[in-house]
Amino acid sequence: MVKYSQDFIKGIGKSIDLRGRVRVRILVNAGPKADAEAMRGDWRNVGIDIQNGIQKYGDDRRRIYVARNNRAVRSARGSSSRRYSK
């Protein structure tokens, strides 16, 4: 017989709980210094997200520019070779 831990049984029970219990988080006021550090961390994460977005935008723009130029070069080569092959 397979034995399951109490935590496993509780986890399964919570996943199929149809009563919809709401858990309340208790917020601890750690003071203004902790609040400032938390806000600093939050804004740092926002800055990193913006930086990543700008980088991705630049990469996408470069990829589109290169693709357009490659297409233009191929079509120019194709039209000139057709012109002289007749």
Residue 40, in any domain of the structure = yes
Residue 33, in any domain of the structure = yes
Q: What pLDDT was estimated at residue 78?
A: 66
Per-run averaged pLDDT (10 residues), the chain, 86 residues: 80 73 69 90 96 94 88 70 51
Q: What pLDDT was estimated at residue 42?
A: 95
Here the tokens at position 66 are 């290169």
Question: Using alpha carbons only, what angle is made at residue 47 by residues 31 and 66, rounded to the nearest 5 degrees?
Answer: 170
Q: What pLDDT was estimated at residue 73?
A: 76
Residue 53, in any domain of the structure = yes
Q: What pLDDT was estimated at residue 84?
A: 52
**How far is 61 from 55, CA to CA, in rounded Å?**
10
Residue 11, in any domain of the structure = yes
Q: What pLDDT was estimated at residue 80?
A: 52
Question: Using alpha carbons only, what angle is made at residue 64 by residues 59 and 68, rounded to the nearest 5 degrees?
Answer: 150
The tally of domains found in the chain comes to: 1
Domain that holds residue 68: 6-85
Q: What pLDDT was estimated at residue 6?
A: 85
Residue 1, in any domain of the structure = no
